Structure 1
C-alpha cells in the first residue's frame, strides 16, 4: 500500500473543515484511485468513513 500525504475533513452545514494537520497514511490502491479520480477535490472514502483530499501529488517519503 502506498504512503500518501492527505488532509482529513469533516462536513458541517455544507462546508468542509480541516481536521488537524496533514497526515501520511497507507492507502489501498482503490482509495488512492478514488482520490486521484477527483483531481484533488475532497472525497468521501467509505472504507475510512471520512472525507479526505490529497495534500499533493507526491507520495510521502519514508
Structure 2
C-alpha cells in the first residue's frame, strides 16, 4: 500500500475497539465513584478523630 493511501477500515475491528473503550470508560467511572466514597469516609474518620482529640484536650484542662 502506498504511503499516501489511508488503510481500509474494518467495521468489525472499529466496533470491537469502540466496545473496549466504552468498557474502559465504564470501569473508570466505577473506580472514580468508589475512590470518592473511600475519600469521603476517610475525611469523616479524620474529622471524628479531630473532634475526639479536642474533647480530650478540653477534659485535660
Assess same fold via TM > 0.5: no
TM class by shorter-chain length?
under 0.3
Under a length normalisation based on structure 2, what TM-score does the superposition of the two structures give? 0.22
| Structure number having the greater strand percentage | 1
Q: Which has the higher contact order (CA 8 A, sep 6+)?
A: 1
Under a length normalisation based on structure 1, what TM-score does the superposition of the two structures give? 0.22
